[in-house]
Each structure stands twice: as structure tokens, then as C-alpha cells.
């Protein structure tokens, strides 16, 4: 990945994290151009349409309520700007950073993994509405940003 692209992506990730920490939202003015530029870059420079597979998976996870729309769009942009041969590494960096952050902050705020698993069970059984999940959400884009920065500067 080109050094200039890494710097731009790092700046986008930091801005997204700061916006999310301030407003609990990742703005469309940041994510939609990233997705568009990523789709064009993937099609014209990387000559690949493989980014559509992570996009479909991320959309499905967003639809199921696994994370917010801003987080999904941010990750979609990242995958579109990443060569398909590095998808595994990007996924591992994102999962590692968010998993570690979830364990550390989940223990402090919610008592660890058990409440998370019980929450998943409640969602699957329909005991928690999407509205209730929306009210309970916390800023977490910073964790995705840490994973992306780890990927950009330690892996790619």
C-alpha cells in the first residue's frame, strides 16, 4: 500500500474516532466519500471486485445490529482500499483491537464476557429491541481505528 494512502487513511481513522467519541456518531461526510473512493480505487487501480464480499458481510452484520452504520461504512471503505491479499490481515487487526478493547472495557463497564453473551442471547430471542440497542450504544470506533492503524503501519 502506498505511503500517501496510508497517511490519508490514518487521518480518516483518527477523525472518525474523535467524531465518535464526541458525538457517538461517525459522519456520512467522512464515510461515504471513503467508500466511493475505495470502490473506484479497487476497480481501477487494484482491478478487483473482491471488496464486495467484505461489504456484503459488513452490511449483514450491521443489519443484525453487530455494530453501527458508521462503523460498517468505515470498515467498508478500508476493505475497498486494501488489496484482497491483505484482507485476512486487516480482519485480524480489526478483530484483535476491538476484541481486546471489548474485554478490557467490557469488564470495567459490564462485568466481562458473560453479559455480552447474555445480551446476544436476548437479541436472538427478541427480548431486546433495536431501539433499546440504539439507546445503549457506546462510542467504539476508536477501537476499530486502533486496529486499522495497527494494520496500516505494522502490517501493510
Convert the pLDDT of each residue in 56-76 to its tens digit. 999 988 887 777 889 899 999
Each residue of 103-149: pLDDT tens digit?
A: 776 655 544 555 556 666 666 776 666 566 556 566 778 888 999 99
Tell me how far apart the alpha carbons of residues 140 and 10 are, in angstroms, rounded to a whole number.
Answer: 17
Instruction: Flag whether pLDDT at 77 surpasses 80.
Output: yes
Q: Specify the residue for cell string 442471547.
A: 121
Number of folded domains that form the chain: 1
User: How confident is the model over 22-27, as a mean pLDDT?
Assistant: 91
Which of 37-46, 85-94, 140-149 has the lowest average pLDDT? Answer: 140-149
pLDDT for the residue 7: 95
Tell me how far apart the alpha carbons of residues 156 and 153 are, in angstroms, rounded to a whole number.
Answer: 7
What percent of the chain has a predicted confidence (pLDDT) above 70? 79
Nearest to 26 by CA among 150, 106, 137, 120: 137
Domain ranges, residue 45:
3-155
CA distances from 127 to 13, 68, 117, 120, 122 (A): 34, 20, 14, 10, 5
pLDDT for the residue 111: 47
CA distances from 23 to 15, 18, 84 (A): 12, 9, 33
Instruction: Flag whether pLDDT at 79 surpasses 60.
Output: yes
Amino acid at each position: 500500500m502506498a505511503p500517501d494512502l496510508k497517511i490519508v487513511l490514518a487521518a480518516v481513522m483518527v477523525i472518525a474516532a474523535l467524531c465518535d467519541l464526541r458525538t457517538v456518531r461517525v459522519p456520512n461526510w467522512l464515510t461515504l466519500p471513503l467508500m466511493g473512493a475505495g470502490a473506484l480505487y479497487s476497480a481501477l487501480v487494484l482491478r478487483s471486485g473482491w471488496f464486495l464480499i467484505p461489504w456484503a458481510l459488513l452490511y449483514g452484520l450491521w443489519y443484525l445490529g453487530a455494530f453501527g452504520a458508521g462503523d460498517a461504512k468505515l470498515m467498508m471503505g478500508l476493505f475497498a482500499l486494501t488489496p484482497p491479499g491483505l484482507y485476512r490481515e486487516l480482519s485480524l487487526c480489526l478483530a484483535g483491537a476491538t476484541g481486546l478493547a471489548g474485554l478490557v472495557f467490557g469488564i470495567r463497564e459490564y462485568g466481562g464476557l458473560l453479559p455480552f453473551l447474555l445480551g446476544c442471547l436476548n437479541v436472538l430471542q427478541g427480548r431486546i429491541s433495536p431501539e433499546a440497542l440504539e439507546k445503549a450504544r457506546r462510542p467504539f470506533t476508536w477501537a476499530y481505528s486502533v486496529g486499522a492503524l495497527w494494520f496500516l503501519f505494522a502490517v501493510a
